[in-house]
Structure 1
Amino acid sequence: MKPVLLLLSMLLQTILLAQTPPASKTNSFVPVAANRIDQLIQQYVDNQWIAGATAIVMKEGQIVYHKAFGSSNISTKEKMRTDHIFRIASQTKAITSTAVMILLEEGKLLLDEPVEKYIPAFSKVAVLDKFNNADSSFTTKPVKGKITIRHLLTHTSGIGYAQIGSETYNAMAAKAGVFGQIGVPFHSLEEQVNKIAAIPLEHQPGEKWTYGLNTDVLGRLVEVVSKQSLADFFRTRIFEPLGMKDTWFYLPSDKQKRLVALHGEDSLKKVTTMKEELDVNGTSLLVNYPNVQGKLYSGGGGLVSTAYDYALFMQMMLNKGSLNGKRILSPNSVKLMTTNQIGHLKSGYNSFGLGFGITSSKESLKLGVSEGSFDWGGAFSSSYWIDPEQKIVAQLFINQWPNSHGEIHEKFKVLVYSALD
């Protein structure tokens, strides 16, 4: 071949190689080990411990596992599909935290500013001193420092959780007309947050880690600062840029049939159907709240999503804030969110960032999840984690409350790492 023709041939090969899409990473999952995930989830379905589930694993931005099991509704026996939509509950918190960080990057707030600057009701906050179980009356003592936005992001403000928190906070919340924010779609977020501010804190801000309604307050903060509803902010600043088409507070009519049923369990700890309303510590919650036209946007737990949609959000975080050319956060913000922010305080994780639990070296030894991975889950038996070392994101959705067989989430984690090539 003449030198000119040889040069042209080499150039053509280079162009073709550059245009070839990246090879699928499915071979990075060991088939035999991946089959064990199938067997695990199917076992829980066959034993009637769960109705069904969807699971997804992505490695280096490629889907290596995405399957559905069982049924979306044991009453109708509809087969579960990977595009079924689940109530993600507290997995909403990571998205709300991301919204706060977007506003931080725009110079519209600072993490150590007092929340009362934006929500004046918190200027009169006090700390619980004594509580009377007989009539739910209480006395308070002065707060030593103001609640900051960082306190809310790290669950160190002292705000408790209505319905699922301590017995004392549950009683105070019930008396104040405060709900857990899920299943009460016709209430006002502004009104609820103002009522939260009137309930005494369980401890001084920054003194302890207490899981509470902090992220619902942050949702209201986003509304005040952005001058948009939380739903509109999420849609325009996070969901649409990432291509998350199935993540909503309240589903459009054409998506409502894809919402999975929320299941419960009977006295034998077998999965069962659930009534239209769920009683949680004396509060009636609407089970199918995503299928109504609600107005309360719970930043702490109100969203629904699919496994794939939420994986897009996780992949953005793994990519240090961007996905498919769309930047949501800067690498610096992602670093802040995924670095321990609570010092020596015990959170159950030993480390907690801005909206995420962080896997410590000690916790890494338990299941094999890499140190520095970050995660959370949802009350309706869902879990996710993001592992920067292994470059994986993974998610398991079930939608059941309660679920006495929640150990499936830990088993799923073990099997995912066992399947990595």
Structure 2
Amino acid sequence: MTNPALAVVDDPGALGLCPARLERIDGWMRRLVDEGRLAGLSVAVERRGRLGFFRAHGRSDLARGRPFADDTIVRIYSMTKPLTSVAVMMLYEEGRFQLDDPVTRLLPEFAGMRVLTGGNRARPETEPARREITIRDLLTHTAGLTYGFMEATLADEIYRREGIDFHRRDASLAEVVERLAGLPLLAQPGEEWNYSVATDVLGHLVAVVSGIDFASFLRERVIGPLGMADTDFHVPADKLPRFAANYIYDRERRLKLYDDSVETAYASPPAIASGGGGLVSTAADYLRFCRFLLNGGQLDGVRLLGRKSVALMLANHLPGDLAAMGTPRFAESSYSGIGFGLGVSVMLDPARAQILGSPGEAAWGGVASTAFWIDPAEDLSVVLLTQLVPSSALPIRRELRVLAYAALTD
């Protein structure tokens, strides 16, 4: 069933949006599809809690000829992370822990961590961590963890060798976290920003603290109460016809199937519910999540977080921007002028970021080129859905930001 949020588009002019300039987004979307750069995509722009623009173009599945529609279900990958962060903040509000608590208070397997200083795969050289990892370090990607898929450092290589993969089907979340805790860190806790599996560790922390498995917690405490009817860690059989295929470019920059919409691992529940990248969702569902954040932690009379907790999530927790925290090897955002909060990037300075925006704007994206941002100063939410890996293949996020902000008239 289509979410009513996308059934009716309000008068853009009444929301301070220029209809003619919004049509530029439509033309841009059509070009991406017509030129074969994307199979299909959708864009939703909401202001003051009302939908001012929604369009979908192209195909969700090229082989089967299915249109990309308002209820198309996609892999949102790392756009899962903000939902996991909300789950953590809900337990924080219950007094279960403090953000600066050592994570060993809840996950003792992280005691005695060591940090890589050199060496090679056969004989890595390490030194003791100068302090323990905190829960805030995990939320801000400053814990010293990494991702094996980046293939840029010795730590990444060790992750791959030891099977640190939160999408594997032959282990539990607890087992992979325990294995991870026995490996050396990439950097000293708190000293560098490195995109990482930290949010998957937080999913395990939620399970340990709450006493229920992470997938159930997220469904029962976050996804269900927010009315995100099509958001889950897998796609039930009756919804598979709405599930999009995922694509990658071949050497000639032509679209090639990366993951089928029917013959896919997402057709059944995973062994591990990945808090860092496991969810599927729709435009309507993710707009509800955006509205929840912009409303200060409540939606349609349901409050999951206090407004001060949401404000803390959306504040920059780094001493500067990402560029000042080492040299990030990968992120779902640019680095200069962009800080990081508790699970989301935070705009600090649009001039330094060299893009339109507002200080305090929060955002993130997924590896299949999906993205969202919320701008409290403009009471604006934008959700972009498509399925192309990796997200660095096209600059569509920055292009859409310019088009969307250019449509503001008040």
* Superposition TM-score, scaled by structure 1 size: 0.88
Q: 1:317 aligns with which of 293, 303, 316?
A: 293
Is 1:289 the equivalent of 2:275? Answer: no
2:147 partner amino acid: Y
1:413: which partner in 2?
A: 401
Equivalent residue, structure 2, for 1:334: 310
Answer with 1 or 2: which has the greater Rg. 1
Name the CA distance, whole Å, in 2 between partners of 1:363 and 1:290: 40
Q: Is the Cα–Cα contact under 8 Å of residues 381 and 403 in structure 1 kept in the other structure?
A: yes
- 1:352 corresponds, among 302, 315, 340, to 340
1:82 to 70, 75, 78: 70
**In 2, distance between residues paired with 1:241 and 1:93?**
18
Instruction: Tell me which residue corresponds to 2:105.
Output: 117
What is residue 361 of structure 2 aligned with on the other side? Answer: 373
Pick one of 249, 263, 268 that aligns with 2:233: 249
SS of residue matched to 1:212: coil
> Do structure 1's residue 168 and structure 2's residue 154 form an aligned pair?
yes
Does the CA-based 8 Å contact 1:74-1:272 persist in structure 2?
A: no
Task: Work out whether residues 160 and 166 of structure 1, in 8 Å CA contact, stay in contact via their aligned partners in 2.
Answer: no
Cα distance between partner residues in 2 of 1:365 and 1:276: 36
Partner residue of 2:38? 50
Q: What is the CA–CA distance in structure 2 between the aligned matches of 1:191 and 1:25, rounded to whole Å?
A: 52
Structure 2: any 5+ residue segments left out of the alignment? 1-8, 329-334
- Aligned match of 1:240: 224
- Residue among 35, 52, 55 paired with 1:64: 52
* Pair 244,76 (structure 1): closer, same or farther in 2 beyond 3 Å: same
Classify the secondary structure of the residue corresponding to 2:33. helix
1:108 to 89, 96, 113: 96
CA distance in 2, matches of 1:203, 1:403: 25
| Matched residue type, 1:70 | G
Identity of aligned residues (%): 36
Matched residues in 1 for 2:138 and 2:10: separation?
A: 41
Q: Residue 163 of structure 1 contacts residue 170 of structure 1 at CA under 8 Å; is this kept in 2? A: yes
Report what 1:141 is aligned to. Answer: 127
Tell me which residue corresponds to 2:247: 263
Matching of residue 152 in structure 1 with residue 128 in structure 2: no
Matches within 5 A, 1:5-16: none
Q: Structure 1 residue 202 and structure 2 residue 186: aligned?
A: yes
Structure 1's 65 and 362: CA in aligned 2 closer, same or farther, altered over 3 A?
closer
CA contact (8 A) 1:317 1:334 kept: yes
Is residue 112–residue 129 contact of structure 2 (8 Å, CA) maintained in 1? Answer: no
Match of 1:26 among 3, 8, 12: 12
- The alignment status of 1:211 with 2:192, answered yes or no, reads no
Q: What is the Cα deviation at residue 105 of structure 1?
A: 0.3
Check conservation: 1:165, 1:212, Cα contact below 8 A: no
Deviations 1:350-389 (CA, angstroms, capped at 9, x unpaired): 4111111111124576232111101111111111100001
Q: Alpha-carbon deviations, 1:55-110, whole Å to 9, x = none?
A: 11110111111221100011112111110011001111101011100000001111
Change (3 A) 1:74 1:404: farther
Runs of 4+ in 1 over 6 A off after TM superposition: none
Unaligned runs of 5+ in 1: 1-22, 278-285
Contact 1:136 1:172 in 2 (8 A): no
Task: Give the structure 1 partner of residue 175 of structure 2.
Answer: 191
Distance 1:26 1:294 in 2: 41
Equivalence for 1:178: 164
What CA RMSD, in Å, does the superposition of the two structures yield over aligned residues?
Answer: 2.0
Q: How far apart, in 2, do the equivalents of 1:351 and 1:131 lie?
A: 32
Cα distance change on mapping 1:298 and 1:73 into 2, 3 Å: same
Deviation per CA, 1:28-63: give whole Å up to 9, x if none: 332211111011011010110110011111101111
Q: Cα 1:403–1:126, aligned 2, differ >3 Å: closer, same or farther?
A: closer
Aligned length: 387
Once residues 28 and 284 of structure 2 are traced to their aligned partners in structure 1, the CA distance between those partners, rounded to angstroms, is 20
Take 2:192 and 2:203, find their aligned partners in 1: how far apart are those partners?
A: 22
**Which whole-Å CA distance do the structure 2 matches of 1:290 and 1:234 have between them?**
17
SS in 1 for 2:81: helix
Q: Is the 8 A contact 1:136 1:171 kept in 2?
A: no
Instruction: Indicate the residue corresponding to 2:6 in structure 1.
Output: none
Q: How far is 1:170 from its partner?
A: 2.3
Cα distance in 1 for partners of 2:251, 2:203 equals: 37
Quote how far apart the aligned CAs of 1:295 are. 2.1
